[in-house]
Copies of this chain bind each other. A is one copy, B any other.
Amino acid sequence: MNEIPFIEALRSLPLHPGSRGLADDAAVVNMGGETIILTHDTLVEGVHVREDEDAADTAWKLVAVNLSDLAAKGAKPLGVLVSHMLGGDDTRFIYGLREVLGAYDVSLLGGDTVRAEGRRVWGCTAIGTATHAPVPARSGAKPGDVLYIGGRIGEAMLGLEALRNGSGDDSLAYRRPRPQLELGRRLAPQVTAMMDVSDGLLLDAARMADASGRTIAIDAALVAPLAPPGRLDDAMRWGDDYVLLAAGPEGLDREHGVTRIGTIETRGEHSVLLDNAPPEGSLGYTHG
Contacts and interface: CB of A to CB of B under 8 A. Distances in A.
Contact of A16 (B12, B39, B94, B108): B108
- For this chain, the copies found in one complex come to 2
A113 to B, nearest CB: 4
B116 A22 contact: no
A25 to B, nearest CB: 8
A19 B129 CA distance: 18
A189 interface: no
Given A83-B40, A87-B1, A94 B31 contact: no
Contact of A22 (B12, B82, B121, B127): B82
A104 to B, nearest CB: 10
A115 to B, nearest CB: 3
Contact of A13 (B44, B94, B127): B94
Interface stretch (A2-10, A140-148, A211-219, A250-258): A2-10
Which label, helix, strand, loop or mixed, suits the secondary structure of the A interface? mixed
A97 B47 CA distance: 25
B91 A5 contact: yes
A119 interface: yes
Contacts of A162: none
Nearest to A26: B110
B14 A114 contact: no
Interface string A186-202: 00000000000000000
With most chain B CB atoms within 10 A of its CB, the pick from A13, A118, A123 is A123
> Which 5 residue pairs of A and B lie closest in terms of their CB atoms, listed nearest first?
A115-B288, A9-B94, A16-B107, A125-B125, A123-B123
